[in-house]
Amino acid sequence: MEERCGKMDEKSGKDTGKKIRLAGKDSIERMEVRIGPKKDVVFGSDSGSPVMIAGPCAVESEEQVLRIAEAVRIAGAVALRGGAFKPRTSPYEFQGHGEEALRWLAKARDATGLPIVTEAVDEESLRLVVEYADVIQIGARNSQNFALLKAAGKTQKPVLLKRGMAQSVNEWVLAAEHIMVQGNMNVILCERGIKTFGDHARATLDIAAIAAAKSISCLPVIADPSHAAGDVKFVPPLAKAALAGGADGLIIEVHNNPEKALCDAKQQLDLNQFSELMDEMRRLKLV
Ligand code: PEP
Ligand code: MN
């Protein structure tokens, strides 16, 4: 790690504090991040196919997550998502089943072999996520929560770092740097849409940001078409656009009964829709 740490520019005496060092390209063009108990799911590999992560917005019950995990595995997903701790806009909305949901996720991993990706919203939930999960998700709302980034950096668990809704690409990569400088190099960036004047979709999936992040950083970059779309009908086109634009993978919300979902009902694909999208992406040779 030492040789990858930049130094102050002694000649010019310039402040290099904003330089992207560990997450940059100075010593490595592309970095692979491996996840799962067998470390066999690889992000950012030049030879492998894009990594598909799928699962519900929130883990609602053991049966629900087991059923979805099995279906998305058969359809071609290689990792399972599902929120146990949900950052919600309103405090009156469902906040997640917490540690119990982590136990259900672990059962789903045992049943299917799919590594688990789940969000930590604060340092307390981070400790639990580290105990049960394979990847710590840090969400858009926490993408500049430096205490949380630092705490995630002190673990060796891979981190999926969403881009903040009003964060420049440079700020996003520097947020990854906050994790890496603590010693955890296993960071995956995730573009999930930003706030713009457009109101036709929940957010604006910034395809250029995928290329821009890859141009300044060695880290793998994936996309989340679900939170950008906010509506099932926009998820497939955004998923395909992100892969065509160079994303190293996707994270997609899938539910066995989206109408009854406890959160993000409008944007979750049902099991058939996810399977059809995977078929379509295979036909287009995107995965
Ligand atoms: C999520 O993936 O469950 C989520 C809350 O995403 P974001 O942080 O991108 O809104
Ligand atoms: Mn969601």
pLDDT tens digits along 138-158: 999 999 999 999 999 999 999
Ligand 1 binding pocket includes 192 (Cβ within 6 Å):
yes
Q: How far is CA 135 from CA 12, 76, 80, in A?
A: 40, 19, 10
State the pLDDT at residue 5.
41
- Atom from ligand 1 closest to the CA of residue 190: 9
Ligand 1 binding pocket includes 139 (Cβ within 6 Å):
yes
- Atom from ligand 1 closest to the CA of residue 224: 9
Ligand 1 binding pocket includes 240 (Cβ within 6 Å):
no
- Measured in Å, residue 169 CA sits from the centre of ligand 2 at 22
- pLDDT beneath 50, residues of the chain: 1-6
Minimal-distance CA residue to ligand 1 atom 8: 139
- Measured in Å, residue 140 CA sits from the centre of ligand 1 at 6
Tokens of 188: 């995956």
Structure confidence by residue, pLDDT tens digits, 242-271: 999 999 999 999 999 999 999 999 999 999
Against a cut of 0.85, is the pTM above it?
yes
State the pLDDT at residue 15.
64
- Atom from ligand 1 closest to the CA of residue 139: 8
Ligand 1 test: best mutation among 60, 94, 95, 137, most atoms within 8 Å of CB? 137
Ligand 1 test: best mutation among 118, 172, 227, 235, most atoms within 8 Å of CB? 227
Ligand 1 test: best mutation among 89, 117, 162, most atoms within 8 Å of CB? 162
| Cα–Cα distance for residue pair 287/271, rounded to 1 Å | 18
Query: Which protein residues have their CB within 5 A of the ion that is ligand 2?
Result: 57, 264
Ligand 1 binding pocket includes 202 (Cβ within 6 Å):
no
- Measured in Å, residue 192 CA sits from the centre of ligand 2 at 11
Which 3-state string (H, E, C) describes 102-169?
Answer: HHHHHHHHHHHCCCEEEECCCHHHHHHHHHHCCEEEECHHHCCCHHHHHHHHCCCCCEEEECCCCCCH
State the pLDDT at residue 212.
98
Minimal-distance CA residue to ligand 1 atom 10: 140
